[in-house]
Amino acid sequence: MRVRQPTAAAVAALLLATGTLAGCSGAPAPVRTPAPVPSSAAPTAVTGDVRPYDRAGVRDGGTLRWALDAVPATLNLYQSAATADSALLAHALYPALFRPDEHGRAVPDPDYLLGAESTPPGRLPQVVTYRLNPHAVWSDGTPLSAADFTAQRAALSGLDPAYTGTRPAGYDAIDSITQGADPAEVEVTFRQPYAEWRALFGPLYPAAVTASPAAFNRPLAGGPQPTAGPFALSGPDGYDPAGGRVTLVRNPLWWGDEPRADRIDFLATPPERRLDALDQDRLDIAPITAAVDRAQAAPGTSADRAEAATQALRRAETLPGVTVHRAAAASLTQLTLNAARAPLTDPAVRQALARAVDRRRIADAALTPLGLAPAPLGSHLFAGDQDGYRDNADALGPADAGRLLDAAGWRRPKGGGTRTKDGRQLSLTLLIPSDSATARRTADALAAGLAGAGIAVRPQAVPAETFVRTGLATGGYDLALFSWPAGPTPAVDQRPVYAKPRPGPDGALETGSNYGRTGTEEIDRLFDRAAAELDPAAHLALLQEADTRIWQLGHSVPLFQRPELVAVRTGIAGAGAWGYGWPRFQDVGLLTG
């Protein structure tokens, strides 16, 4: 059966192991429904490293210089051209009703939202009542209101095909939106229960941007559109793609804590130039994950690459007046097994391979050279310190890889070596991005570990810019190493990654974002039930069951959280590696003294 290629929208959220989107934690807003306290089995990952500060000690005024990969083509995160830089800028310019705390839990941002509550589980229809901050206004003076909610729902629900771009889950579950008791109260009624409602309307765009297909489909790249953040574009020349600069200044209508900095210059600086720019005092805040990773990508042994990592970090750490902040990003690096390609079509082989993967050895090889704790992951759906994390690897059962492979007919030659069956060696290709030394070290550790089980691994490096199009999408590989964003709302965000591929109208198998190309009706139902379960404990239990079934299916093996490194000039407060969250821009500034 032919396999249909996934659409651009289906792969838009993909993060390669290179740290391509290291400039921000993800898009658009990593929030999720609160759930019980995570298991004590959670690894000790550092999920945020921001210099502590007291606003009273941050100077009033000054300019910050902040690195971007490039000035993005749009600030509308629901358009396919949006990037992590789009998300970073949007957090300074547009409302997000909820912010993630240090464990990925959604908490209202009081600058925009005084409170929100849903009808209790079992009461239908579900109605969520939002109480907006009555002082919150767009830059044209118009208050945030139900009109903005209504227009955004129309643009993202899929009811009108004239609206192009991506369609986040949840908006199609909304039945109606009305004003509540006063203009600051908004009531959203769902046609079916939706557990992860806190992820909606973040960011919230003004009705002027979303009220018609013509307005929504235009790139949102500067211009006179209303914003509502602590900062605003400096004017007609504040958004300059040709000059590689976005300039933000204090929003004169801002109602919250006054921004400490007068101005932020976001400067397009390719990763390979960032260490030089920091050394030459041309940047104050710069994500350097990719800069360090690509600097170490020269051929060599694992020991050579580890030493290169040390040297690259040493340079960053010894730059005059610069501190390197480290965190585990909200991004899960995992090994995907292509179940549509023999011998991985056999579930027993996939399960044996998953048992043979030494996750701790791999995490150590990938993270220790970067100065991060080697914390292996045991969940496909949650990051290590995320509320709800549990290591479900025990779902694979007690049988070791060797016995499973023997039973499947893959025998090891006397004296050791690669297993064979019917004259064929158990030799698998491993797709990795070519410019990532972290991926290469991971591949070396993976190959060494699997060789002990009689499985040979042959890495195949593919340029990051074509990794999806010519690698993952074609299916011409056995194993693949890359990262997905940590599911802020796993029931809906992670479902496409594990959804059972189905034949389309022309008979072609539609894999969408499921590059493992295998799934079950049971897993799909568990995700769907979790998405509709309003009781937090029951919601989490369904997600844990889904994760258990994914382990047993042998779809993929979670390995570690992608590293996040951010260089910050000494004397700047409120900046660093944000982990699950994003900057509170009004607090970032220069320390006094």
Contact 444, 473 (CB under 8 A): no
Of the candidates 186, 192, 199, 202, the residue with the CA atom closest to the CA atom of residue 33: 199
The whole-angstrom distance between residue 141's C-alpha and the CA centroid of its chain comes to 33
* Mean pLDDT of all residues belonging to the chain: 89
Please report the pLDDT score of residue 507 as a whole number: 84
Please report the pLDDT score of residue 464 as a whole number: 87
Please report the pLDDT score of residue 44 as a whole number: 40
* pLDDT tens digits, one per residue of 9-43: 333 334 443 333 222 323 323 222 222 222 333 33
Please report the pLDDT score of residue 198 as a whole number: 95
Contact 576, 566 (CB under 8 A): yes
* pLDDT tens digits, one per residue of 500-511: 999 988 888 889
Q: At what angle do helices 536-553 and 347-356 cross, to 10 degrees?
A: 100
Cα within 13 Å of Cα(129), Cβ side: 9
Please report the pLDDT score of residue 581 as a whole number: 86
* pLDDT tens digits, one per residue of 404-414: 999 999 999 99
Residues 364-386: what's their mean pLDDT?
A: 94
Length of the chain: 593
**Looking at the domain assignment, is residue 528 inside a domain?**
yes
Residue spans of alpha helices (H) in 280-346: 289-295, 302-317
Lowest mean pLDDT among 55-59, 154-158, 292-296, 323-327: 292-296
* pLDDT tens digits, one per residue of 74-103: 999 999 999 999 999 999 999 999 998 888
Strands 576-577 and 263-268: unpaired
Q: For residue 320, what pLDDT band results from cuts at 50, 70 and 90?
A: very high
Residue % of the chain over a pLDDT of 70: 89
**Looking at the domain assignment, is residue 384 inside a domain?**
yes
Please report the pLDDT score of residue 309 as a whole number: 64
Is the model's pLDDT at 70 over the cut of 70? Answer: yes
DSSP strands (E only) in 436-584 = 456-462, 479-485, 502-503, 509-510, 556-569, 572-573, 576-577
Q: How many domains does the chain have?
A: 1
Please report the pLDDT score of residue 395 as a whole number: 97
Is the model's pLDDT at 164 over the cut of 60? Answer: yes
Is the model's pLDDT at 52 over the cut of 80? Answer: no
What CATH number is associated with residue 500? 3.10.105.10
Residues 577-585: what's their mean pLDDT?
A: 91
Burial (CB count <10 Å: 0-12, 13-18, 19+), residue 44? exposed
**Looking at the domain assignment, is residue 181 inside a domain?**
no
Please report the pLDDT score of residue 9 as a whole number: 33
Residues 524-534: what's their mean pLDDT?
A: 97
Residues 129-137: what's their mean pLDDT?
A: 98
Separate counts of helices (H) and strands (E) for the chain: 16, 26
Of the candidates 393, 277, 383, 397, the residue with the CA atom closest to the CA atom of residue 327: 383
Give me the amino acid identity at 49: D
Lowest mean pLDDT among 57-61, 163-167, 254-258, 488-492: 488-492
**Rounded to an integer, what distance in angstroms lies between the CA atom of residue 18 and that of residue 486?**
16
**Looking at the domain assignment, is residue 160 inside a domain?**
no
Domain range enclosing 461:
331-561
Please report the pLDDT score of residue 223 as a whole number: 83
Please report the pLDDT score of residue 207 as a whole number: 97
**Looking at the domain assignment, is residue 162 inside a domain?**
no
Please report the pLDDT score of residue 32 as a whole number: 26
Of the candidates 365, 342, 386, the residue with the CA atom closest to the CA atom of residue 41: 386
Lowest mean pLDDT among 295-309, 411-425, 470-484: 295-309
Is the model's pLDDT at 307 over the cut of 90? Answer: no
**Looking at the domain assignment, is residue 141 inside a domain?**
no
**Looking at the domain assignment, is residue 514 inside a domain?**
yes
Which two structure tokens, joined as six digits, stand for 238?
């504040």
Q: For residue 460, what pLDDT band results from cuts at 50, 70 and 90?
A: very high
Please report the pLDDT score of residue 12 as a whole number: 36
Q: Report the chain's C-alpha Rg in angstroms.
A: 24
**Looking at the domain assignment, is residue 148 inside a domain?**
no
Is the model's pLDDT at 171 over the cut of 70? Answer: yes
pTM given for the model: 0.90
